[in-house]
Structure 1
């Protein structure tokens, strides 16, 4: 795939003029305690934040996928970041019908091997390598968080329940990696 922008976030925001201009929500203040229902009620939230807040939101999305037996897409910037959550993910992957684990790592290093319902894909050399993405399927379609590592342990990105916006994220990943992520099943 030929990118117009170096940044994955800029590729997505370019498709939806105005979304990047929405006011950024401070996830480090009172909003850190939002439930997933509150994020979903907000619909779309821009943020610049650290890993602690993204980790919490990721867990909310992963728990939703498990509870609703929904497919799950998760990206990891490095093998180390996957190893940090590996124990929890081994259990999650047993409980969801389908999962895609995408990371800037070598697949053989993912041990124990994930269930057959999980696809492990390397994104090395693409602009997905700096992304923290956790997406699942909700009542209206795919939704989740999309954030880009901007350095100094900070991320910029968004949470969206829009199947159109989140679908564009998935489509962009599919085109870049030549895979077929389909959260509709």
Structure 2
């Protein structure tokens, strides 16, 4: 990025940059791609300045419907909101002091983001995992009329192959979703 995109009315959404997703040694959900993405995300956060939103995934303490089966399969993730594994990673945590932070027990964060960024914003998405929460947020936002750019180099997938597949799927939604 060469100019602060935030100055053009765009928002940077850093999706689920949490300890639980940052390192495969930390949890079953850790991305092997995270270490390479986080310095690039930090640079983008500085460029977007006040137009940054961080999201956090947390377990619903009383899951319903398909979430019951989900947590039966992934019981390690059913932690309380305040558990340190659900914290924003230390490399990005200082930036949350001046940014909005959206916390939700869903993969897609569009419903909660809309309250901050408006109904039809221009969004640039970064974060983890490309093949789950980034994908879910991108499609929900685009379906609602947002213009979405997925910054591939600022995203980390659960595997490089799943990252690539998710980027390819999101590219099918052009022009509402653009992968760069």
Whether these two folds match at TM > 0.5 is: no
Give the strand-richer structure, 1 or 2: 1
TM-score by length of 1: 0.30
Give the helix-richer structure, 1 or 2: 2
TM-score by length of 2: 0.30
